Amino acid sequence: MAGEQVVRAEGLRKRFGSHTALDGLSLSVPQGQLYGLAGPNGAGKTTLIRTLCGLLRPDEGEAHLLGWRMPNTRVRSQLGYMPQDFAVYDDLSVIQNLEFFGELYGLHRAHVRGRADGLLDLVQLADRRRDRVGSLSGGMRRRVSLAISLLHKPRLAFLDEPTAGVDPKLRRSFWDYFSALAEQDVTLVVTTHLVEEAQRCHRVGFLMAGRLLTEGTPDEILAQTGKTNLDDAFIELQERREVKS
């Protein structure tokens, strides 16, 4: 369905004790969009993703993914989620991890094996497929987690800092892949700290203190702030907000 809002959130509020992590946040993402979530540490990016995926219950507001009110288990087969604090099994090999999570998604082993080749090439771990995950570096383990989150060809994927600790060349190939997925109508919401990554998104939301301070194409955000690069634009937005509060 062209033009369908596959992510739709209204007035999300989430408190942890006295701290408000999401402060009445609304968000819409149409199908096939590569949406970047930027913002400083503690802005609420991870909380937003976990709330959208139905892993945290908002105190107020609601989220719909692919037309379903969350939480809803029926979305699971079409939803990919790479957590910031990802979990992989150190005692299993790379391919065994993929098979294990593939089974959780209800995929046949033969299907996982077929799909694994391409994904392991993407994350440049094809030659490490039989190695124990515990023997890999942190960046490599993150790449295993990315492969797992895309194993079942989700229509919608939330990737929470997928490129943290990944070297620049590989980071670029990840983003080439994200763009290619979006061209195939997969919707991606990706958090990032890096301006060159935000620049590759169709739309960027800049989050601070649980609110979307601004949202737009990278060019629109530059125009709003009168800056020539997104780093300066984000600093400007952050400072404007600090002056106000």
For Mg ion, the binding residues (CB under 5 A) are: 45-46, 84
Q: Which is nearer to Mg ion, 87 or 104 (CB)?
A: 87
Per CB under 6 A, 19 contacts ligand ADP: yes
47 binds, among Mg ion, ligand ADP, none (CB under 5 to 8 A by kind): ligand ADP
Choosing among Mg ion, ligand ADP, none, which partner's interface includes residue 44 (Cβ < 5 to 8 Å by kind)?
A: ligand ADP
Q: What would the two tokens of residue 33 be?
A: 């969009």
By CB under 6 A, residue 39 contacts ligand ADP:
yes
Please select the residue that binds ligand ADP; options are 16, 134, 135, 183, rule is CB under 6 A: 16
Indicate the residue among 46 and 149 with the shorter CB distance to ligand ADP: 46
Tell the smallest beta-carbon distance from residue 108 to ligand ADP (Å): 35
Would you say 45 or 115 has its CB closer to ligand ADP?
A: 45
CB atoms within 10 A of CB 23: 16
Chosen from ligand ADP, Mg ion, none, partner binding at 16 (C-beta under 5 to 8 Å by type): ligand ADP
**Residue 44 touching ligand ADP (CB under 6 A):** yes
By C-alpha distance, which of 84, 80, 68 is closest to 165?
Answer: 84
* Per rule CB under 6 A, count of chain residues that contact ligand ADP: 11
Quote the tokens at residue 85. Answer: 């604090």
The first and second tokens of residue 209, run together, are: 């203190």
Residue 41 binds to ligand ADP (criterion: CB under 6 A): yes
User: Using the rule CB under 6 A, is 85 a contact of ligand ADP?
Assistant: no
Name which of 23 and 131 has its Cβ closer to ligand ADP.
Answer: 23
Question: What residues make contact with ligand ADP under the rule CB under 6 A?
Answer: 16, 19, 21, 39, 41-47
